Structure 1
């Protein structure tokens, strides 16, 4: 007998290992499921009486550019440096409040686009059967199926299915509504806060006509971006009695199969948002659902399918929220990894004037979001993009490149006006307008002008994995400007031996000096000096890569590198000294930031080649853990990566479990609390770091060591991964079972002539050449769990 096609009104997945799935609607935002096309996004609740989509568009921000640069800072910089050097903390901080803080003290903040509500007529209170909602990471589609129970006089239940996608090719949100018989519902747009009982509506106008709803709004603040949202409906069954009627400011739809298209634009990208949005909707309405869906899936999978990960056992038959409350099964950890890549693809894509993922990605529900839902660049924005390299998503980083280009322009004014320095700089936040001035008036974070330097470092590190000559050409002058700033900003240490930063701090942390006084501002924190060293080395790498003649800065950079202070281990604690040359005590030993271990991860200055520093870093992490460290989602994610670099597999497992159990919401979004997406991205990167690591063994980058399963926990007994990209652009595929690796294939980057050596979790490295296959014995690897391990290199 021929196989029958499964009903679209039931949940029958063939790829449930890539599903977040639930047996009930979302009661609140933390249960709703995200979709996004990089610019336009929604949180989908999957309700049966009044469906709710909370909407976002990434250029909807309060207000326009501001002039906030402190005009009197440079005149007081010598005095501030002297006060810091003399340990006169209170006086230094008072001077900062007077001359170095910006007015207004806050940058602009990100706002919601609004809401779409769909109210199903006559369905309130009816019994619901067979309910299931899910997010399919393979298709980037969220769906819900259910049936309304029989009422008196009815012969059959009414079965319903809704699917939602955020299409990148068509730049729209698309909802498909199907039912077993014609149903009626009302569609509304509004712009209220995340509080469902809120009555204040932040709109200019809402009107409906024909099969459209049009909403105009202007976020507050001078020179704000006006926005326009347009929603349109097309019917499959118009000839059979399906209808769309515009009533008041909403649409009443009667249909058994229809498609709802929603688009939004602001004046940030288009001088006439209404025209641009109407065009997007009209074009999508001309296409059948099947075409819209296939275009969306093909585009999305061209990115998502580059990397796959399976871990076993996999309890994917259980609802996702239930799995999060118990010891995570390995399959849930693999799902979390895939979800991280899905979220990055969905919140950061190239295009016309692209914008990076914010603290909340693109999914901000609040008009007063935590920390403005902007870009915190003393760790958080950087962490958002950690999965780009190993996760093989370099296109998703292009919005950061665009932001850096704009920051360099604003940052030149900041560098000159505040510090009398060449080049450009940025402090610990930025916004849609690439603001580079100090943000907030919180002393432990505000006066730190190396945020832009760290962003430049991340940009260059992406090139080291996914080299792109066009992107490199865009970054060259930006990197030079960041280096010029550092060369001018450095001052001699008190004894004249070293060059250090001043003012400096260790982001958001506080120390206790020898007199027992608390301090924040210092000279040459480890975070600062690591960033300076890293930026200088990348500048020299960039010149070598481009085969340039030595630039005018070349000799100065090399000589300055030789005068930077080393990492110092405290003789009294055995810890790496967080505040550089000063052996200060910590006010908060369990602090969420671990800035002085930047050289361990994402840097590579602390490794097996520096065993004493590696041991000191491990002691830092133990001390943090003993005092409650990792209590925020993103900081827990950072700890996963740090322990992976130390090859501490069971600590990796412990922190992943804590991240999932304590810092992950039912929809698997990260909980700081409140929601911050950086924990998702940092956790995603940490899982990859436990599976594969790579590092150059020489400055010329002619010998690359690749370590397989360096920190994979014992519970990950069986698995397979494909597509992990490492330094130099080489791609790693491998599988393992019961702790024994079966096959590993390394696909060599086109044109690379680097020597490749491979090791397994601390085993003896073995050199591999193209076309060569080696079966490692116990003696080769130094570990009997490696017996029978076969490695080949292709390309």
Structure 2
């Protein structure tokens, strides 16, 4: 047994933490009257790299820990070596409608060995034995505005003395540590342990190397497993503020026994992914944090967090935020204010799981953000790039969090472009780079799994690249543009090589192609098929990539076009158009083939990519395609579509683009009632965080939308502009509300309030000279034009409101 030597720090009440629940800004609280019984009730904290699920248990507290670079295994070489040799035959079989033969060839020549990429694992867990089993006055909450999760309660000692306890947890970005503050009305004793245990008990030895305690510190080392895996180290340190009054930290075995009325616990962790010596780095983080008083740690964390979270706000009434969150969630229908909380929670989660990393090599949010409790997580908790990673970042644009997107995603794209060049050349004989429907920490670009409806689809990387470049149109960043231009050039080069002439020679199509995870019935043979030529999703991605390349190249090199510009423009003109089915008037999913869906209620609606997040299908620009897209959604709904959380979230955004407020309201209610766990995390099932982000973006999409158009100038001429529509799909139950700081195309920020569908004064702001002016379209169709940078207040009572107008959408 050794006593710790910790700094002598007085001021046990330096934070004056109350032993009660503070209801200030309660509309931004998730709050509960009982501790978390299981993971789906625990509350998440994170700083982009480190994360924890905090259970808030008074007896045996549990904090499930994650660090974004803890993955099983190192880089792999899985590229199918002879695939390109078999590509001509595969294309011929697909074009001939020989579905069975084509799929058999894919199994033999195009699947990877091993078939799976690496998977994400937990960092470990902190267990704290308080032994406060019978408590009163219990309250647990997460304050989204400050990113603090707290617990208060009281218990009675044997002698009748009532002891009050408060615990606060933050995950500090400035200090790169998890901080737990424990304050009590008198000294209490508790035991702290750090561990890393598998759900399967006998597997634990495979994932844990050592745990040792000494002084006021616990150090845990582990190797996640797999060849060339990152090694990890977690360090936990404790300091007591009441050392002179008998506060004490003792190391016993591999745990710490703390006796104190006010103490701070700091947790740091690193892996060899970023640090050659993860133990030294983690100790440095912990010691630096513990050298600061709690009040300073808290101030630094809150100030940093609010620079991001405070940019956008949303309130919707009626609101019953004083009611515990789990009770609100169980209500049918839920109160309108819960949708606003859900949106704010999405912004909170994105900040907590995806930020630039001060140690370099940032990683994006995976299928579970950073909060994964399992050593064998669903779908490996990887980066799935046929919808899921993209959906993770849908709110990054309109909710004004570009930093959360650019650093992590662009870093991954740059590494994928290197690895994907090998995949493109070896598998398809193409220049440039490509990636299939998944990637991992090592930017693996080869086919994942051996599941025909998803595996052989080499356009996943192009879609991620599109999202990154598209982000520049709202949040322009020249440094990121220059970096992305190189990545986009490679993605477009691959697409140009991968395209082949259609059977009639009129168009360019992708082959092999598929519509992610969906299957069809070939009406000619009755055979169930998967592979096709030029799926609607593929065509949309190729068109979008080509148009963004032209925009990007012209913006970076206005007077010296890149060598690809004319080639891209020529190929763009020959892309296959979107087709409407003559049999049921829905948008065709498999290109120019009028195939029937084998699963009409399928969760993916990939062929509607051009409606959302794209803008090729629009109520104003393409009414026929818009009607066909609406019929797709009607057909999906009639057959049970939207049954997963992320799919339901996509439907909200799609219906919002169609201006269908009632459908948006229905799907938001279903997302909350059927696909949301008590801690408001998305339930696929199982947990998958993309639904939170997609739903968060969709709620804003109901209130503000924007697209490019032609607007009238002050002189009566015409110029490119952004059409900003207010309340395009606002549910009728959202009787009153206010939104501030929503970002749209052209760098515009929009704020306004509304009541009973009537918009009050609008403030639109653009900090710098942007791409376009803007036309503000109010409910009912009235319009107003704004030009130039600065703050513009548009009053709904001004006579000038009716003078501004949109005059067209032909941007060429």
TM-score bucket of the superposed structures, by smaller chain = over 0.9
> In structure 1, what is the equivalent of residue 572 of structure 2?
561
How big is the shift at 1:198? 8.7
Structure 1 contact 764–780 (Cα < 8 Å) conserved: no
**Residues 236 and 597 from structure 1, CA distance in 2 versus in 1: closer, same or farther, beyond 3 angstroms?**
same
How far apart are residue 698 of structure 1 and its match?
4.6
Does residue 66 of structure 2 align to residue 56 of structure 1? yes
Match of 1:751 in 2: 769
Alpha-carbon distance in 2 for matches of 1:335, 1:656: 12
1:523 equivalenced with 2:533 (yes/no):
yes
Residue from 139, 143, 147 that aligns with 2:150: 143
Of 104, 113, 118 in structure 1, the residue corresponding to residue 114 of structure 2 is 104
Distance 1:197 1:239 in 2: 44
- Which deviations, in whole Å up to 9, do the C-alpha atoms of 1:296-322 show, x marking residues without a partner? 001110000000111111111111011
Q: Which residue of 1 aligns with 2:84?
A: 74
SS in 2 for 1:117: strand
- Number of the residue aligned with 1:361: 369
Query: Once the 2 structures are TM-superposed, how far is the Cα of residue 551 of structure 1 from its aligned partner?
Result: 1.1
- Give 3-state SS (helix, strand or coil) of 1:465's partner: coil
**Aligned partners of 1:759 and 1:781 also within 8 Å:** no
State which of 615, 621, 634 in structure 2 corresponds to 1:604.
615
1:589 aligns with 2:597: no
Q: Is the 8 A contact 1:63 1:225 kept in 2?
A: yes
Q: Which runs of 4 or more aligned residues in structure 1 lie more than 2 Å from their structure 2 counterparts after TM superposition? A: 193-202, 698-702, 752-755, 764-782
Q: Do the aligned partners of residues 701 and 439 (structure 1) sit closer, same or farther apart at CA in structure 2, a change above 3 Å counting?
A: farther
TM-score normalised to the size of structure 1?
0.95
Shift of 1:750: 1.4
1:313 corresponds in structure 2 to 318
Name the SS for the 2:472 alignment partner.
helix
The match for 1:245 is 250
Alpha-carbon distance, 1:629 to partner? 0.3
Query: Is 2:280 the counterpart of 1:275?
Result: yes
State the partner residue of 2:702.
Answer: 690
Tell me how far 1:739 sits from its aligned partner. Answer: 2.3
Q: Alpha-carbon deviations, 1:322-357, whole Å to 9, x = none?
A: 111111211111000000000000000002110000
Taking a change above 3 Å as real, the CA distance of residues 753 and 494 of structure 1, as seen in their structure-2 partners, is closer
| Partner Cα distance (2:508, 2:449) in 1 | 29
Matches within 5 A, 1:106-121: 106-121=116-131
Which whole-Å CA distance do the structure 2 matches of 1:213 and 1:201 have between them? 20
With over 3 angstroms needed to count, the CA separation of the structure-2 counterparts of 1:471 and 1:189, relative to structure 1, is: same
- Name the CA distance, whole Å, in 2 between partners of 1:627 and 1:405: 40
The aligned runs of 1:258-297 (5 Å cut-off) are: 258-297=263-302
Moved more, 83-92 or 698-707: 698-707
C-alpha separation in 2, matches of 1:313 and 1:197: 52
Contact map agreement 2:474 2:747 (CA 8 A) in 1 = yes
Task: Provide structure 2 residue ranges, at least 5 long, that are not aligned to the other structure.
Answer: 1-14, 712-717, 803-812
Contact 2:746 2:771 in 1 (8 A): no
**Matched residue of 1:219: which SS?**
coil
- Contact conserved, 1:158 with 1:181, CA < 8 A, in 2? yes
Deviation at 1:780, TM superposition (A): 9.1
Paired with 1:765 and 1:509, the residues of 2 have a C-alpha distance of: 42
Q: How many residues align?
A: 773
C-alpha separation between the residues in 1 aligned to 2:198 and 2:136?
Answer: 31
CA contact (8 A) 2:206 2:224 kept: no
Give the distance between the partners of 1:193 and 1:753, measured in 2 at CA. 53
Partner of 2:320: helix, strand, or coil? coil
The change in CA–CA distance for 1:199 and 1:412 in structure 2 (over 3 A counts) is closer
d(CA) in 2 for partners of 1:667, 1:621: 29
The answer to whether the Cα contact below 8 Å between 2:74 and 2:227 also exists between their aligned partners in 1 is yes
Q: CA deviation at 1:226?
A: 0.5
Tell me if 1:571 matches 2:582.
yes
User: Is the 2:194–2:255 Cα contact (8 Å) retained in structure 1?
Assistant: yes
Deviation string, structure 1 residues 388-439 (Cα, Å, up to 9, x no partner): 1111001001200000000000000000000000000000000000000000
- Structural RMSD (CA): 1.8
Question: Secondary structure of the equivalent of 1:145?
Answer: strand
Assess if the C-alpha contact under 8 Å between 1:228 and 1:273 holds in 2: yes
1:628-777 correspondence runs (5 A): 628-698=640-710, 702-752=720-770, 754-761=772-779, 763-769=781-787, 775-776=795-796
Deviations, residues 483-540 of structure 1 (Å, cap 9, x unaligned): 0000000001111111000000000000001221100000000000000000000000
* TM-superposed deviation, 1:463: 0.5
For 1:692 and 1:780, the matched residues in 2 are separated by: 21
Q: Does 1:87 align with 2:101?
A: no
What secondary structure sits across from 2:785 in the alignment?
strand
TM-score by length of structure 2 reads: 0.93
How much has 1:677 moved relative to structure 2? 0.2
The answer to whether the 8 Å contact 2:356/2:408 transfers is yes
2:763/2:793 contact within 8 Å kept:
no
Stretch moving more, 112-121 or 262-271? 112-121
CA 1:722–1:184 in structure 2 vs 1: closer, same or farther (change >3 Å)?
A: same
Whether 1:503 aligns to 2:521 is: no
Contact 1:174 1:262 in 2 (8 A): yes
CA drift at 1:767: 2.3
Distance in 2 (alpha carbons) for counterparts of 1:200 and 1:556: 57
Question: How far apart are 1:200 and its partner, in Å?
Answer: 5.6
1:776–1:210 CA distance, 2 compared to 1 (3 A) = closer
For 2:376 and 2:764, the matched residues in 1 are separated by 48
In structure 2, do the counterparts of structure 1 residues 132 and 518 end up closer, same or farther at CA, with 3 Å as the change threshold? same
Q: Does 1:337 align with 2:343?
A: yes
Cα distance, 1:511–1:297 mapped onto 2, change above 3 Å: same
Q: State how far apart, in whole Å, the 1-side matches of 2:220 and 2:234 are.
A: 5
Q: Is the 8 A contact 2:196 2:204 kept in 1?
A: no
| C-alpha deviation, 1:201, in angstroms | 7.0
